[in-house]
Structure 1
């Protein structure tokens, strides 16, 4: 059981090291072989986007230090910024405590969202919870 694996490492002392291969083999990829990825600006800590990785995208990201996702719409690997020039250079990659999500801290060049906005979370529910406000201008 994969969850038991992550429970077993909860009490590891600070700065313990574990083999990357052991962690990757225990990640909770869904039935499509994907795991959610939250991408955050390394300096501002703004959440830029949420996307998906398969194991190949994860390994490519770690090898190239350029964030690579799995595009569900195209059914293909997607190197962020490959066509737009709005690249994400990996600063740090972390796994959550259950092994079912990845956090990428990045240096973002240009807007993160395909709309030209700085991030993908520009649709904000108003205080009354009755409307959605579009924040930020697209490019």
Structure 2
């Protein structure tokens, strides 16, 4: 993409999965997988424009910029599309200590073993102090 282009020539196939595509979000420096979110075309365009991660909230049926309530913003460093154009990988700089609404660094904090579930990280903040 040249600097004069306003939009990339390649965009995800939003029609394929009914208007939403999964977005895997990864820490740009460490490679840690932080979360899985969803995007529609409006979230995609907002992410490209702002260079901050913007998702579609399936719960609230609206766009949400990561960190708008918690100040734990995700600055987009790199955007990759998979070969089928139906999954996005965002590599981000996670501002703030946690990406998960539970207060943890990553949403993936529950390790499933053959006989148990292990909690592999503790909350870094109390979600009740941040979210109503």
Alignment TM-score > 0.5, same fold: yes
Q: 8 Å contact 2:12–2:86 — kept in the other structure?
A: no
Gaps of 5+ in 1: 1-18
Q: 1:117 aligns with which of 104, 112, 119?
A: 104
Q: 8 Å contact 2:12–2:81 — kept in the other structure?
A: no
The two structures, once aligned, show a CA RMSD in angstroms of 1.5
Bigger helix fraction: 1
Partner residue, 1:48:
34
Query: What's the TM-score, normalizing by structure 2?
Result: 0.83
- Larger Cα-atom Rg: 1
- Distance, in Å, in 1 between the alignment partners of 2:40 and 2:93 is 21
Q: Which ranges of 4 or more aligned residues in structure 1 deviate by more than 3 Å?
A: 25-29
- Distance, in Å, in 1 between the alignment partners of 2:84 and 2:15 is 8
In 2 relative to 1, CA 50–26 (structure 1 residues): closer, same or farther, beyond 3 Å?
A: closer
Gaps of 5+ in 2: 1-6, 126-132
